[in-house]
Amino acid sequence: MDARGRYRARVNSSAPSGHVLAAFGATGLPVIEPGGQGRTWHVGDLILKPCDDPVEAAWTAEVMSTLVPSVRFRVAAPVAAGDGGWVVSGWQAWQAVTGQPDVTRCAEVLEVADAFHQAIARRPRPAFLDSRDDPWTYGDRVAWEELPINGHGVMADLLRRLARARHPVDLPAQPVHGDLLGNVLFAEDQPPAVIDWPVYFRPALWPQAIAVVDALTWCGARAEMVGARGDQPGWRQMLIRALIYRIATNEGCRRHGRLVRERAEDYQPVVDLVLSRSS
């Protein structure tokens, strides 16, 4: 499950060109992957995917390439082209990793989130976040009060309820992975693997709240999961911001001319559950 896939129709990209394959040293016939919104190709032992922002793609690849191996998580190792660059004609390459996502294992995803975010905690805020403009960035900025809620937009009533419960938090920000639940792969006898990193610069607890909100909204998680990190300061506020992020992204889709597939009733039970909890 890629949460971004809920907001846009599947698009089949053309296979990577011979020039791209040669640049990354890929050999074999490109085979389209069943996930990845129809844009991800398996070629031999590599995964190739067009990147929406070459600057962000190069940044994430550079960070991933420097992570020390861990018993707590794996990553899909980025592959550099022959000239040392991470992006060729809008494509990036990664070593294929074994495993499958399992959205029912949210508690384990949170453990992976802890380890992964500890490993990248000291990275500075990347400059590309200032200019990135897509539906998810819009939702993120609304969640963190950098943009106002559109009172006449998609699911505005839910957003107003959440905004009234939103209070300032004093938690340090760092680079975070904004879509973990469907992008952690589980394989027998190996640590879980983190893939497909959409970068944000927020408290490390926030992406865990996003994973919990996604599990509750779309994956049949039990209501008790809402308290998964209830012992952590600011957890309820992170859940509120995670809900605003996911819901406001629908308005971001409308602004970018994308089809909005979600409805208020999809989120209503989770909004009620989060707002019923004491701060």
Segments making up each domain of the chain, as ranges: 3-97, 101-275
What's the mean pLDDT when you consider all of the chain? 93
Determine the pLDDT at residue 237: 98
> In CATH, what number does 101-275 get?
3.90.1200.10
- Judge whether residue 7 has pLDDT over 50: no
Least confident of 8-17, 25-34, 124-133: 8-17
Residue 175 has pLDDT above 80, yes or no: yes
**Mean pLDDT on 148-159:** 93
Q: Which of 40, 36, 52 is nearest to 3 (CA)?
A: 36
Task: Kindly give, in sequence order, each residue whose CB lies less than 8 Å from that of residue 191, ignoring residues fewer than 6 positions away.
Answer: 70, 71, 72, 73, 74
User: What percent of the chain shows pLDDT beyond 90?
Assistant: 87
Is residue 11 scored above 70 in pLDDT?
no
Average pLDDT in the 15-26 region? Answer: 97
Least confident window among 117-121, 155-159, 239-243, 255-259: 255-259
Asked whether the predicted pLDDT for residue 219 surpasses 50, the reply is yes
Cα angle 226, 129, 161 (rounded to 5 degrees) comes to: 35
Please tell me which residue, 151 or 272, carries the higher pLDDT value: 272
Helix (H, G, I), strand (E, B) or coil at 207: helix
Please report where in the chains the tokens 């920000």 appear, as a residue: 173
Q: Which of 50, 136, 102 is nearest to 221 (CA)?
A: 102
- pTM here is 0.94
**Closest among 41, 30, 42, 119 to 74, alpha carbons compared:** 119
DSSP secondary structure of 56-75: HHHHHHHHHHHPPP-SS-EE
What sign does the dihedral 9-185-207-266 (CA atoms) show? positive
53-69 per-position pLDDT tens digit: 999 999 999 999 999 98
Q: What is the DSSP string of 224-278?
A: GGGGTTTTSTTHHHHHHHHHHHHHHHHHHHHHTTPPP---HHHHHHHHHHHHTS-
Q: What percentage of the chain reaches a pLDDT higher than 70?
A: 94
Task: State residue 5's pLDDT score.
Answer: 54
> In this predicted structure, which of 12-26, 108-122, 166-180 has the lowest mean pLDDT?
12-26
CATH number at 3-97: 3.30.200
Who has greater pLDDT, 35 or 223? 223
Task: Give the pLDDT mean for 99-112.
Answer: 97
220-277 residue pLDDT tens: 999 999 999 999 999 999 999 999 999 999 999 999 999 888 999 999 999 999 999 8
Tell me the backbone φ, ψ of residue 214, rounded to 5 degrees.
-65, -40
